[in-house]
Amino acid sequence: MLSRTITIQNKLGLHARAATKMAQLALQFKAKVQVQQGEKTASADSVMALLMLASNQGKEVTITADGEDEEQALNAICELVSNRFDESE
């Protein structure tokens, strides 16, 4: 299992469209990807679970990936977050 802690950078945080992008990306990997924020953990392939985190700009989240393509999955999800979910701010 691999994990990395990153900061939510986009202005709108993990809102519906961002959460949907993350879930769509997570679904492409075999590895089980989770997002942890404080005491809450969400499965990255569930928009519902991601929205319950209410992660806003500046929040630190820990991404974990477990499975055969865990490295690719972790990198892809972290890249999406650092690229502000392709949002302009």
- The continuous run of DSSP H or E covering 48 comes out as helix 47-53
Select which of 15, 32, 59, 84 is catalytic. Answer: 15
Span of 19-27, 31-39, 63-71, 76-84 interacting with another protein by CB under 8 A = 19-27
What whole-number distance in Å separates Cα of residue 44 and Cα of residue 33? 5
15 is catalytic: yes
Of the residues 43, 46, 72, 75, which one makes contact with another protein according to CB under 8 A: 46
Torsion sign over Cα 72, 28, 42, 31: negative
Residues that bind another protein (CB under 8 A): 11-17, 19-21, 23-24, 27, 46-49, 51-57
